[in-house]
Amino acid sequence: MRKEPPDDQVALNAAMGLALEQARAAAERGETPVGAVILDPITGEIVAVAGNGPIGAHDPTAHAEIVAMRAAAEKFGNYRLTDLTLVVTLEPCAMCAGAISHARIGRVVYGADDPKGGAVAHGPKFFEQPTCHWRPAVTAGLMAQESADLLRGFFRARRKPKGDAA
């Protein structure tokens, strides 16, 4: 008996919920709260999960997307992640968009827009460039408010003056 693929929206919502958990965990470590999940849309299997980690890893490339792609590539023994879906709480930056393209990710689903550092809908619009050799399908705005609120709260708390009880 063939297993039916999971309902796309249910699987994406569950994956984004997991990505948000990873983002919260990153915030607790003092990292920018971004989380990522790699999902196999055919089976519904969660392939990899990660939260941001550049500070703790002493690695400027340890963005949640990159860490998740590294884990997925290791799991499959292949740097090509064709047909997989990357679910991430924040619009990917130029570095992550480049890695997504090189990995041949099939679809990117992200939560909050990033007008300053994003590279998918903002900035260089990486996947729209004629030199981009692989373009994933992109879905923006999944649980965008929750993702944006998490980021805003994190940075608001960091800007609050010491000793301010409010």
Among the options 65, 74, 91, 128, which is catalytic? 65
Helices (H), 29-143: 54-57, 64-76, 94-103
Task: Give the three-class secondary structure for 46.
Answer: strand
Q: Report residue 122 as tokens.
A: 């903002």
Active site residue 4: no
**Element at 25 (helix H, strand E):** helix 8-28
Q: How many residues does the chain have?
A: 166
Annotated catalytic residues are: 65
